[in-house]
Amino acid sequence: MIIPCIDLMDGKVVQLVQGREKALEGDAPLAMLEKFEGFSEIQVIDLDAAMGRGENRGLVEMLASRAKCRVGGGVRNAERARKLVEQGAHRVIVGTAAFTPAIEEIAVAVSPQNVVIALDSKHGKIVVKGWQESTNFTAEDVIGRLEPFCGGFLCTYVDKEGMMQGTDLDWFRRLRAATSHEITAAGGITTIDDIRALKAMNVHAALGMAIYTGRLALAALKDE
């Protein structure tokens, strides 16, 4: 499955490089939603909420109510997760809170199948709080013990995020071997060959920069 991404910052659709530098802005959120019509699922991330510097709650709610969306960014407690599901989110993406006791409460509140845990890796270590803080453990260290609290994992190779240089397929192979849960890959996925290699591993592909720059055409992706 190919999952187009809508990342929100300051009320706009953006693409960042390694979660820091804004590289470009997309069309208005609703226009992007229309462009992505026909894809099975869309990923919506509130970057401001993830970084703890505001939120785009109204836009998130609007998008979740109009399409099948997995929604993340600042989902730090059960109340927020439950609210997103009530507003139409198909699934909620939990990053920082997955490494706190709150993950158990979130899983109970919305059911594990409705939770996607984000395992974002930079220089080999999990990063949290909008990729601003590094931890001391790897995705391989934690993926097994987090399985009871989710239905799948969103694994982002932050080192190549937004850089259009390809991704680390070997990393995704190791993660695929470590869990039977659904895995969605993100970060640096640039070519159809990348997508096909991931598909061969039974790994979904979340796409951002390659779509927004036109490197990958939406029409061609719908045929994959």
CATH number at residue 117: 3.20.20.70
Over residues 198-202, the mean pLDDT reads 97
- Name the pTM for this structure: 0.93
Number of structural domains in the chain: 1
Considering the candidates 27, 46, 48, 120, report the single residue annotated as catalytic: 120
**Is 171's pLDDT higher than 90?**
yes
Give pLDDT, residue 23: 78
pLDDT in tens, 87-123: 899 999 999 999 999 999 999 999 999 999 999 999 8
E strands present in the chain: 2-9, 12-17, 21-25, 42-46, 69-72, 91-94, 115-122, 125-128, 133-134, 152-157, 182-186, 204-207
Distances (CA, A) of 118 to 11, 73, 127, 177: 23, 10, 10, 17
Q: 152 or 87: whose pLDDT is higher?
A: 152
| 7 a catalytic residue | yes
At 164, the pLDDT band (50, 70, 90 cuts) reads low
Over residues 30-48, the mean pLDDT reads 94
Write out the residue range of the structural domain in which residue 102 sits.
Answer: 2-221
pLDDT in tens, 205-216: 999 999 999 999
Considering the candidates 7, 46, 48, 194, report the single residue annotated as catalytic: 7
| 223 a catalytic residue | no
pLDDT in tens, 46-88: 999 988 889 999 999 999 999 999 999 999 999 999 999 998 9
Q: What residue type is assigned to position 75 of the chain?
A: V
Give pLDDT, residue 163: 57
